[in-house]
């Protein structure tokens, strides 16, 4: 018996990259189906689809980071004398330049 070559072309493997999942996210939204039903209909992995929906949603959210310009200590306290320095046992120190701040700290220490 002789083997007959298949006349059907081999199925191309599906590449599940970001564009694949973006397209399915759009189609799912337009379909009005539940995620479970959409995955079953399109034969895609429910858990992977959920992962990608979350990942794509996070990318669309604007960043909540804000640019901040810091001043050097020279700019922040120009030629201000230190009224008091508190040295702590952990090696940190707190320099007080303001009389009101010093007054509040001394009141709380009583």
pLDDT tops 90 at residue 50 = yes
In the chain, % helix, strand, coil (3-state, to 5) comes to 45, 5, 45
Cα 78 to Cα 101: distance, rounded to the nearest angstrom: 17
Classify residue 28 by burial, with Cβ atoms within 10 Å: 0-12, 13-18, 19+. buried
Q: Which of 8-17, 53-62, 97-106 has the lowest mean pLDDT?
A: 8-17
Cα 25 to Cα 50: distance, rounded to the nearest angstrom: 10
pLDDT digits (tens, 9 = 90+) for 57-90: 877 777 667 777 777 666 665 667 888 888 888 8
pLDDT tier at 34 (50, 70, 90 boundaries)? very high
Choose from 3-7, 10-14, 39-43 the range with maximum mean pLDDT: 39-43
């Amino acid at each position: 018996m002789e083997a007959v070559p298949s006349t059907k072309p081999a199925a191309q493997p599906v590449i599940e990259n970001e564009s694949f999942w973006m397209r399915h996210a759009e189609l799912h939204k337009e379909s009005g189906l539940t995620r479970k039903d959409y995955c079953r209909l399109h034969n895609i992995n429910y858990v992977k689809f959920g992962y990608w929906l979350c990942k794509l949603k996070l990318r669309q959210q604007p960043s909540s980071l804000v640019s901040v310009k810091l001043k050097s200590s020279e700019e922040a306290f120009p030629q201000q004398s230190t009224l008091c320095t508190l040295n702590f046992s952990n090696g940190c120190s707190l320099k007080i330049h303001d009389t009101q701040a010093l007054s509040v700290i001394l009141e709380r220490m009583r």
